[in-house]
Structure 1
Amino acid sequence: MASEGGEGEGGDRQDGGRPLGSRAPEFIKRYRTLHLSWQVVIFLIGLAVVGLGVVMLPLPGPGWVVIFLGMGIWATEFVWAQLVLRWTRRKVAAAAERALDPRVRRRNITLTVIGLVVIGALLGWYLSQYGLVLPWKLH
């Protein structure tokens, strides 16, 4: 099936053509109190998932993945979260495109090699001076 019109027209349809807004079932949207209760529950679930992701950042675990999962939960109901996720997708796509640029890749490889050479030189100097002695047991 061919797409109608140009992609990217109307800035709110760049991620698969979904419009902004609540994705709650229609029977929930019909009643204001029920919809508000639904939003509170979605917010609390998203908050718990994002909080878990924040806790996982310094600990072993996929912290950023869990944070974005929580943002995805919020994005099912809140326009601000949908906009944040769209902005993040654009930035990640731009960063991936930049990372594939041969000049940037060469620069990154060069910097990595220089860093490894410096670390190797420092490690060689340390071992020549002190041998295999732990730094906190030096005399």
Structure 2
Amino acid sequence: MVEWTLRNVKRLIIAVTGFIVMAVGIAMIVLPGPAVIVIPIGLGILATEFVWARTFLKHAKERMARFRKKAEIS
């Protein structure tokens, strides 16, 4: 039988919550709603436990900063 530690349970809850929030955000791309806000929130939740999400969120922030800087110049 699989032994569940408190850390594993916490990690599972964070993963499920993060993926649900991300799925809702992705659905908001075609449905009415603030997808641009909800998707990074889902990534932020996932980034608390997963390095790949932290890296992806970091790259997304850098791209947004470059986009904003480019928009200010134009």
* Structure 2 length-normalised TM: 0.87
The CA RMSD measured in Å over matched residues stands at 1.3
Deviant stretches of 4+, over 3 Å: none
Larger Rg: 1
The within-5 A match list for 1:1-139 is 33-101=5-73, 105=74
After TM superposition, give the deviation of residue 59 of structure 1 in Å: 1.1
Deviation at 1:36, TM superposition (A): 1.3
Unpaired segments ≥5 residues, structure 1? 1-31, 106-139
Identity value in percent: 37
Task: Give the structure with the larger helix fraction.
Answer: 2
Q: Which amino acid aligns with 2:23?
A: G
CA–CA distance in structure 2, aligned partners of residues 63 and 99 of structure 1: 21
